[in-house]
Amino acid sequence: MEQRGITMTDINEVRQELLDSCYGSRNMVILARLSRLYFDALVDDESIAKASFDQCVRFFLQCSDRSVPKITLTPNGTLHAHWRVGTSQALSREFTGISDES
């Protein structure tokens, strides 16, 4: 099943929710990165999977203890976040769009 890519409407729909949270300044940086990835994907004739985008946004709204990660777009259209922890450790998460709730 082909995944639908996000549109600018999808970004605009979550913009206010992200900025209104108590972590608005962190989320502003994340929103700017997601917007940049969206426009870069358009230029490269790629897209960000809607399910991945939704999962990523939910994660940052729910996990307020996370700092701003490096966010990239994978070749299959999903978002990937990468945090450096100290000088020798890292934490990564790929937002596949598949529910991680049992």
pLDDT tens column, 22-47:
777 888 999 999 999 999 999 999 99
Q: Is the pLDDT of residue 11 over 60?
A: yes
Annotate 4-29 with DSSP letters as a single string. Answer: PBP-HHHHHHHHHHHHHSTTHHHHHH
What is the mean pLDDT of the segment spanning 77-101? 88
The predicted-structure confidence for 42-58, as pLDDT tens digits, reads as follows 999 999 999 999 999 99
Residues in CB range of 41: below 8 A, 6 or more apart: 5, 47, 48, 73, 77
Distance CA 16, CA 10 (A): 11
Joined together, the tokens standing for residue 80 give: 């990937």
Each domain of the chain, given as residue ranges in start order, spans 8-95
Q: Is the pLDDT of residue 102 over 60?
A: no
Residues in CB range of 84: below 8 A, 6 or more apart: 90
- Average pLDDT of the chain is 88
pTM: 0.86
| pLDDT value for 49 | 96
Instruction: Give yes or no for a contact between 67 and 101, defined as CB atoms under 8 angstroms apart.
Output: no
Residue 94: Cβ-neighbour burial (10 angstroms; 0-12, 13-18, 19+): middle
| pLDDT value for 16 | 86
Distance CA 24, CA 26 (A): 5
